[in-house]
Amino acid sequence: MYIPMFCPECKSMLISSGGQLKCKKCGYIRKIGGDDQLKVKKPRKEKEITIVDDEGEKVKTLPTIQIRCPKCDNNLAFWWLRQLRAADESEVRFFRCTKCSHTWRQYD
């Protein structure tokens, strides 16, 4: 038998506590019997992560910026932004040298 998770009196959600269901709004209490079953959600499966490796291709559609490459001292690089950390933190800037294809990052 399925246990209704909402209060029959005020329609608020019931909270499970100590073998009973309680309503915080009106105080309704229902004991959980032996033949009652709670509906349990199955844990979500992690989605597969696909890593895109574009190192082999020369990316020529990205914007460029004048910045010194730490490897070959070239003054032009492609750049792009990625959100690697939490959503409330700033993005990470990536640079790739147009001459030697060295890639580095810059944090804010």
Question: Hey, where are the domains in the chain?
Answer: 1-40, 64-106
Indicate whether 76 pLDDT > 90: yes
Q: What CA–CA distance (Å, rounded) separates 16 from 103?
A: 53
Which range among 27-31, 46-50, 76-80 has the greatest average pLDDT? 76-80
Indicate whether 71 pLDDT > 60: yes
Question: Into which CATH architecture does domain 1-40 fall?
Answer: Single Sheet (2.20)
pTM of the model: 0.44
Query: Which residues are 64's β-sheet partners?
Result: 78
At residue 1, the pLDDT reads 45
Choosing from 48, 89, 91, 108, which is the catalytic residue? 89
Q: What CA–CA distance (Å, rounded) separates 74 from 98?
A: 8
At residue 51, the pLDDT reads 62
- Hunting for tokens 């990470």 — which residue is that? 92
Residue 36 is a catalytic residue: no
User: Does domain 64-106 match CATH 2.20.25.10?
Assistant: yes
Q: How many CB atoms lie within 10 A of CB 77?
A: 23
At residue 90, the pLDDT reads 81
Residue 55 is a catalytic residue: no
Same fold, 1-40 and 64-106: yes
pLDDT (tens digit, 9 = 90+) per residue, 26-38? 988 888 766 556 5
